[in-house]
Amino acid sequence: MLLLKGEKIHVVHRRLFDHDIRKHFIGEVEDYEHGIVRVTGHVWVIEDVKENIFRRKPEPRTRLISLSSGEVFVNVLPPNVDLDRVRYEGVGHNVRVTDGSDWHLDIKEFGWA
């Protein structure tokens, strides 16, 4: 199995056009089959591009995401990450996702200035 039930993932939706919103999804895998993952969590959207400020949509969502579409980047998060405490932080010119513990995920690699 590529993804297991209960694993936590961070999904970056690829922007197809310059004006597309930067959208991420962070959640827990409910099921995975034939390249499609069912995951429940929260959508994160960028609120301020210059300051790299992301805002979590308050309502949880369940999504079906095709991992073979070429439209998403998926990071598997460590099992001890507290999804309820996840936030985005600007650190210099970098942006990272953290839950306030020692863990963080540098997402600057996905290419915005």
Residue stretches of the chain with pLDDT short of 50: 110-113
In a domain, 44, yes or no: yes
The model carries a pTM of 0.86
Domain of residue 100 covers 8-110
Q: DSSP readout, 44-106?
A: EEEEETTTTEEEE-SS-EEEEEETTSSSEEEEEEPTT--GGG-EEEEETTEEEEE-SSS-EEE
Q: What pLDDT digit, counting tens, does each position of 34-57 carry? A: 999 999 999 998 776 555 678 899
